[in-house]
Amino acid sequence: MSRAAATAARVSPFLDLESAPFTFPGSRILVQRAGDGVTVRLAEYERRLDDCVLVRTLRVLGAEGRPAAVTAVHPDRIEFGEAGVMLTFDGPDALSLGGDGTVAWSADLDLPFAPAVRTSSAVRIAVVPASTELRPGARFTAQVSEHPGVDGHTRALEATTRVWDAWFDRTPVVRDDLADMTAFCWWVLGANIVSLPGRGARAVVPSKIGYVGLWQWDAYFIASGLRHGDPELAREQLELAFAFPTADGQLPDVVHDEGVLASSDDLPPGDRDNLRRAGSAIADPSAPIPLTKPPLAAWALRRLEGFVSDDAWFAAAWETVTRSQDWWFERSDLDGDGMPEYGHPYSSGLDDSPVFDAELPVASPDLAAYLILQDDLLASRARSVGDVDAASRHAARSARTLELLEGMWDESAGFFRSSGAGTPVAAEAVVSLLPLLTGRLPGRYVTSILAALDDPDRFATTWTVPTVARHDPSYSDERMWRGPVWVNVNSLLAEGLAVSGQAERARELIEQTLRLVIHGGGPHEYFNPATGEKARTATTAFGWSAALFVDLAVQVSRG
């Protein structure tokens, strides 16, 4: 069995047509279960899947007219076994349905705002622009036609298999106990590839189930995993994230089909009004609120070094990161004290964290840590190219930020405390642990953070690390960013432990994070810290969870 075929065999048991839909690299089409058949939807930016239905129900009927069950799902096909019928892709914008010629069959397709279709021959189900008369408000609809050519369906299946084989040939090699989940996570990354019209690049989206765009933070984590099998695709993620800075250097929160999300003015009017009502107490409430993501651009860029060979591209990318870093200090230090703040929860990546129950803007220890790390990496880059002045500037600013971070330490509480509009925030959240990432904390702070990680009333849950301390009144096993475990946070904390002299603790956290994803059944968006299962409202087949599982699995497999 070829390497690609062996990987596909590992993936197939995970493809349940619910948490893991049937899809194709570069396609927006999703096939999921629906009663005794399947439904076909289209993944679009900021549109509910239920508003993007192409085929309400596709049912395959056997020789006696009874519905044929889905008997197997593989990356390249869905099998309706009793009827010998398979559904596959015919390029990114169409599906192909056909039989193997051994059994008589037929199929019913229930199309929104169009007559039902009955077929007993191979058909092509193509995505086409919707007619406004046919389906008001819709952008696309399905067009069903007999498959062109006698062997059209067979050729479609063969082409689909080739695409997946090429992808699976890139699957990173890991330990045997991690191989099944690594294969599935690599499938997730391939399945989440979309083409952004007019962007000239492929985006690996967080999830085709609800997150169809390139979010800046997600791109950094996703690139970290992709580098082990497809470094050029990893580079494309950073290219898109870096491609649309504002005039003053701010990087946008999201790059999507219709533009970017870089401020509250880029949102629909209703959302914009809500954001402004929750916006900075310092900023003019009638002015746009910048929306970005935490400054981990240098962290992501450094991880591609040694995987991508293009000095000119790296030079331009480092310049973009430098301007972004300056933006934080020049435009997001909203109270002028030298420590930048989050002007809105969206810019933190931890939107629902209780630290944002306070008045905005919020000065948070995680942001301080990211800025210190980014200036340290920029100083290192400047030294490597002989720019002594830039190296000195970044190093000096990092040192000043570290002093301000130490000033956030609350001795009586034993953690780095956030503040909202200058007032200390009561909540103890995972943001207080992330200063480990600097690798420069005095030992007494590291000792206190380790104590917090070991305390069952704080962060020592059954499955660690929760995003809020258990004793905190805002803690919840299920509510996003108020308790559930996130793979990206664990990955950052493991790195922070390693650079803070706690290599064994880092390895333990990595191993437990890998066990969590396996125990939970896949790379979900976030996990219940008590049960280790997917939290109820978490998205499945989540990009950065998949990418970071791959990244961590490669790390531990190489010793």
Task: Report the pLDDT value the prediction gives residue 269, as an integer from 0 to 100.
Answer: 67
State whether residue 384 is helix, strand or coil: helix
Question: Encoding tokens for residue 372?
Answer: 């210190």
Mean pLDDT calculated for residue range 16-45: 96
> Which of the four pLDDT bands, split at 50, 70 and 90, describes residue 279?
low
| pLDDT above 70 coverage of the chain, percent | 95
Q: Are strands 85-89 and 94-99 parallel, antiparallel or unpaired?
A: antiparallel
pLDDT tens string 435-462 = 999 999 999 999 999 999 999 999 999 9
User: Cis before residue 465, ω within 30 degrees of 0?
Assistant: yes
pLDDT higher at 20 or 266: 20
**What DSSP character marks residue 493?**
H
pLDDT at residue 126 greater than cutoff 70: yes
Task: Report the pLDDT value the prediction gives residue 102, as an integer from 0 to 100.
Answer: 81
Residue 133 backbone dihedrals phi, psi, to 5 degrees: -75, -35
* Residue 50 CB burial class (10 angstroms; 0-12, 13-18, ≥19): exposed
Task: Report the pLDDT value the prediction gives residue 103, as an integer from 0 to 100.
Answer: 85
Task: Report the pLDDT value the prediction gives residue 301, as an integer from 0 to 100.
Answer: 98
| pLDDT above 90 coverage of the chain, percent | 84
Mean pLDDT calculated for residue range 137-149: 83
Task: Report the pLDDT value the prediction gives residue 285, as an integer from 0 to 100.
Answer: 58
> Which of the four pLDDT bands, split at 50, 70 and 90, describes residue 317?
very high
Task: Report the pLDDT value the prediction gives residue 284, as an integer from 0 to 100.
Answer: 54
Task: Report the pLDDT value the prediction gives residue 64, as an integer from 0 to 100.
Answer: 83
For the ranges 18-32, 104-118, 165-179, 398-412, which has the lowest average pLDDT? 104-118
Residues sharing a CB contact under 8 Å with residue 523, sequence separation 6 or more, in sequence order: 181, 184, 185, 188, 487, 517, 541, 542, 545, 546, 549
Torsion of CA 343, 345, 350, 356, to 10 degrees: 100
Task: Report the pLDDT value the prediction gives residue 139, as an integer from 0 to 100.
Answer: 84
Question: H/E element holding 222?
Answer: helix 216-226
pLDDT at residue 136 greater than cutoff 80: no
For the ranges 106-115, 329-338, 379-388, 476-485, which has the lowest average pLDDT? 106-115
pLDDT at residue 386 greater than cutoff 80: yes
SS3 labels along 494-554: HHHHHHCCCHHHHHHHHHHHHHHHHHHCCCCCCECCCCCCECCCCCCCCHHHHHHHHHHHH
Mean pLDDT calculated for residue range 59-86: 92
Mean pLDDT calculated for residue range 111-116: 86
**C-alpha distance from residue 366 to each of 350, 393, 484 (Å):** 10, 22, 18
SS3 labels along 297-354: HHHHHHHHECCECCHHHHHHHHHHHHHHHHHHHHHCCCCCCCCCCECCHHHHCCCCCH
pLDDT, the chain, mean: 93
Q: Give the pTM.
A: 0.96
Mean pLDDT calculated for residue range 96-116: 89
Task: Report the pLDDT value the prediction gives residue 165, as an integer from 0 to 100.
Answer: 98
Task: Report the pLDDT value the prediction gives residue 288, as an integer from 0 to 100.
Answer: 81
Mean pLDDT calculated for residue range 301-321: 98
pLDDT at residue 376 greater than cutoff 80: yes
Q: Residue 420 and residue 400: Cα distance in Å, rounded? A: 21
Count of Cβ atoms closer than 10 Å to residue 314 Cβ? 18
pLDDT higher at 251 or 120: 251
> Which of the four pLDDT bands, split at 50, 70 and 90, describes residue 101?
confident
User: Cis before residue 25, ω within 30 degrees of 0?
Assistant: no
Task: Report the pLDDT value the prediction gives residue 81, as an integer from 0 to 100.
Answer: 85
pLDDT at residue 167 greater than cutoff 70: yes
Task: Yes or no: say if 542 and 534 are a contact pair by the CB < 8 Å rule.
Answer: no
For the ranges 19-23, 39-43, 74-78, 114-118, which has the lowest average pLDDT? 114-118
Task: Report the pLDDT value the prediction gives residue 559, as an integer from 0 to 100.
Answer: 72
> Which of the four pLDDT bands, split at 50, 70 and 90, describes residue 417?
very high
pLDDT at residue 272 greater than cutoff 80: no
pLDDT tens string 210-241 = 899 999 999 999 999 999 999 999 999 999 99
